[in-house]
Chains A and B, each alone.
Chain A
Amino acid sequence: AQSVSQHNHHVILSEAASLELGCNYSYGGTVNLFWYVQYPGQHLQLLLKYFSGDPLVKGIKGFEAEFIKSKFSFNLRKPSVQWSDTAEYFCAVNAHNAGNMLTFGGGTRLMVKP
């Protein structure tokens, strides 16, 4: 079974700092990759996704993620964070042999100081 690891449980940054959140997965076959975000008091929503093609994926609110197949990684980046990016971020993987099931990482709680 696949597993997903997010290396940082808590990240604290000042506004305008650059962000990179790590995500590694364990499945060796073809995958779809996702980042979800949960703002305080809100439901989980899709930030960006990768299915195929260009491994650099751009999402909403200036976020991007790069799929590096050789490293089984899908790290999330943002060049300059804002206070409104304070949220919990979840990486998720759908292995193509797993049907419609997603496996989630443990989440990274980001706090951006104004």
Chain B
Amino acid sequence: DVKVTQSSRYLVKRTGEKVFLECVQDMDHENMFWYRQDPGLGLRLIYFSYDVKMKEKGDIPEGYSVSREKKERFSLILESASTNQTSMYLCASSSNPGTSGGASGELFFGEGSRLTVL
């Protein structure tokens, strides 16, 4: 089974603090994603990466950055946390079509990191 592990389930930070959210997947997936989940808004894509050191902006990248130095690890960084970044953050990974039995678009999710910014 694919396992996507997020380092912290719950975090509480203060406004202005720097926040790191780590995600590791163990299935050699090429693609990794960071979403935030808010009630009534579903999942909104922040950033994604399709290869090591590659990154692409999603729908709501403002206030966030990412890092992918190794294939299995994708980090989300909040340089200066703000209260409107209080949310559930979900990491996901997927393989490219034709590799590892994956099909386009199917995502495997981590358990989420609930961040509260005071």
What is A's interface to B at a CB cutoff of 8 Å? Answer: 4, 6, 9, 32, 34, 36, 42-46, 49, 51, 90, 92, 94, 96, 99-102, 104-107
Residue among A34, A36, A90, A99 with most chain B CB within 10 A: A99
Give min CB distance, A45 to chain B, whole Å.
Answer: 7
Residues from chain A with Cβ under 8 Å of B45 in the complex: 101-102
Residues from chain B with Cβ under 8 Å of A105 in the complex: 42
Residues from chain B with Cβ under 8 Å of A100 in the complex: 31, 48, 50, 94, 96, 104-105
Query: For residue A10, which residue of chain B has the nearest CB?
Result: B40
Residues from chain A with Cβ under 8 Å of B96 in the complex: 100
A99 to B35, CA, bound (A): 17
Given contacts A9-B40, A43-B4, A90-B42, 5 further A-B contacts (CB under 8 A): A32-B105, A42-B111, A44-B107, A96-B104, A99-B50
